[in-house]
Amino acid sequence: MSKPSPSFSDLNEMQTHAKAAADLLKQMSNEHRLMILCALGNQELAVSELNHLIPLSQSALSQHLASLRHAELVETRKASQTVFYRLKGDAAIRIIAVLQSLYCPEYQTTQCGEKL
């Protein structure tokens, strides 16, 4: 049984949000940024922890984190000299959860970031 095709009003609604959705997917289309977002999927991590998990130079990691901050997909918290990152916004959290369920089911989390 096939799904009904979207109505005209559904397409108008998508048109309203198409640029934001495309911008989000552009950020996620880079393998390194996607790995950063997946690492942050259910936790807050310090830059040093991310640098240990993601095989990038510190300079490259910083550039990717800046891009994700600019796109408002991550937010930071500073404690003393340590900067912590976490996902920001429902869209990023939900998409990362779906990607984890498809490609890394052993790490699947709920939308709140709790392990299933």
Domain count, the chain: 1
75 or 6, which is more confident?
Answer: 75
Range of the domain at 64: 19-107
Q: What is the Rg, in whole angstroms, of the alpha carbon atoms belonging to the chain?
A: 16
Structure tokens at 78: 């500073």
pLDDT at 113: 42
Q: Which residues pair with 77 in a beta bridge?
A: 84
pLDDT at 111 (0 to 100): 40
Is residue 40 domain-resident? Answer: yes
With contact defined as beta carbons under 8 Å apart, do 28 and 67 qualify?
Answer: no
Determine the pLDDT at residue 37.
94
Domain CATH number, residue 88: 1.10.10.10
Give SS3 for 116. coil
